[in-house]
Amino acid sequence: MTATTRLLDLARKRLPPDALELIDRAAAAAASTGTSLYLVGGVVRDLLLGRPCLDIDLVLEGDAVSLAQDIGAGDSTRLLVHQAFGTATMRGEGFSLDLASARSETYARPGALPAVKPGAIEEDLFRRDFTMNAMAIGLTGKGRGKIVDPWGGQSDIENRLIRVLHDRSFVDDATRILRAVRYEQRLGFGLEASTASLLQRDIPMLNTITGDRIRHELDRIFREELPERALRRAGEVRVWSGLHPSLDRMDWIADAFRRAREAITPLPLPLCYALFLSHLDKEQASAVLTRLSAPSEITRVVLDTLAISASMGPLSTAGVKPSQIYLMLRGFSPQAVVASLATAGDWAAVRNLHLYLSKLRYVRPSLRGDDLVRMGAKPGPGLGELLSKLHRAKLDGEVRTKAGEAKLVRLMLSGRGIKRRRKAKRTTT
């Protein structure tokens, strides 16, 4: 059995059946026109590594959009055509398959989106980030049954090395700096020596990348099983300072992610950003958020987290009442409370944040406004005040049952001179 047949055999076993059916249809359509179709990039790498792969890329030396339209989508797959990019995506149950035309790329300036023109598979592979991602398996046409591996991806995978294809790779696209660290930590690989020094040299090139593109790569780090590994490693090699001078080493980050996962799994992205930026002050964090063009939901959770840490003093005071904890935290996003819990150093604060998340935020009195009105309270601001007092008493455990609440309400209505409704007055007099 040749290496390619072995890989194709593995693909038959590992890829989802619906994806295989689409690949077979694409291969039949490409074969009928004599064009060459390839499995490329991450899927080849993952097959070689024996890892699962649910993002499958196919490259055609021809018109990929027409091919995608020819084969159409299956019963349970959706076809999305991106005419402007000459690509098509098919999404099925738990997988996504991209079909693109083989192309070559040139970069007008560092960090710019590349100018693209049709090319051969080798040119398509040459535009890629690392040797392990620059391989293809031929399914039809002249490449059928061959592994195309012009830069030694297989040998780098065997030696567990991440290697760029040329020394301007990080200059062309500095997001590859973040990708390198992500793959290194995900796969337990090392950076090949000259790749490591090019990465160091080119950290300032992160300046050439838009906020959206950097954030997109950060999102991908946060979606890794253990994001803290890449975050910490990037800190060690001083990548973060290329993003903003206030960001540096992240020796504490593993602990924060582990503690946050104990509260929520999987971690929502805004919470990951809150952990990532939790050691900055408000001004520094705002500068990073602006640099990343962060959407409002992320900004809110990050800034809420910093606001909570500014009130950590009262939160860790001995004897702070549950109602005070509730009032301090109720205006903040629960994700920010989790981020604060995961990064707090003070034991009492941790306990109080946990109490809020697990219990206090759900506590509500059994009696509602209507019930209080029926008991004689006058609708209006006074009623709101009465309800908050009742809520606080419930939070502090001063009342526990509905009967206990009713007793307190009656006491407040009589004892504190809160005006009763006229009708109620009439009936009592």
Which parts of this chain interact with ligand CTP (CB under 6 A)? 41-42, 55, 57, 128-129, 133, 173, 175-176, 179
Minimum CB separation of residue 101 from ligand CTP in Å reads 14
Which residue, 223 or 407, is less far from ligand CTP as judged by CB?
223
Which residue of the chain is nearest ligand CTP when measured via CB? 42
Question: What six digits make up the tokens of 402?
Answer: 């509905």
Minimum CB separation of residue 387 from ligand CTP in Å reads 51
Which residue, 106 or 388, is less far from ligand CTP as judged by CB?
106
Which residue, 103 or 176, is less far from ligand CTP as judged by CB?
176
Minimum CB separation of residue 186 from ligand CTP in Å reads 8
334 burial via Cβ count (<10 Å: 0-12, 13-18, 19+): middle
Residue 116 contacts by C-beta under 8 Å, 6 or more apart in sequence? 86, 103, 104, 105
Which residue, 8 or 39, is less far from ligand CTP as judged by CB?
39
Minimum CB separation of residue 147 from ligand CTP in Å reads 15
Minimum CB separation of residue 124 from ligand CTP in Å reads 9
* Listed residue (179, 195, 177, 176) closest to 187, CA to CA: 179
Question: What six digits make up the tokens of 355?
Answer: 């109490």
Which residue, 128 or 279, is less far from ligand CTP as judged by CB?
128
Length of the chain: 429
Which residue, 183 or 326, is less far from ligand CTP as judged by CB?
183
Minimum CB separation of residue 200 from ligand CTP in Å reads 19
Minimum CB separation of residue 54 from ligand CTP in Å reads 9
**300 contacts 368 by C-beta, under 8 angstroms:** no
Minimum CB separation of residue 60 from ligand CTP in Å reads 15
Which residue, 180 or 280, is less far from ligand CTP as judged by CB?
180
Which residue, 120 or 424, is less far from ligand CTP as judged by CB?
120
Which residue, 41 or 227, is less far from ligand CTP as judged by CB?
41
Which residue, 219 or 371, is less far from ligand CTP as judged by CB?
219
Minimum CB separation of residue 223 from ligand CTP in Å reads 9
Minimum CB separation of residue 360 from ligand CTP in Å reads 40
Chain-centroid distance of CA 335 in Å reads 14
Pairwise CA distance, residues 61 & 50, whole Å = 27
Which residue, 180 or 301, is less far from ligand CTP as judged by CB?
180
Minimum CB separation of residue 311 from ligand CTP in Å reads 39
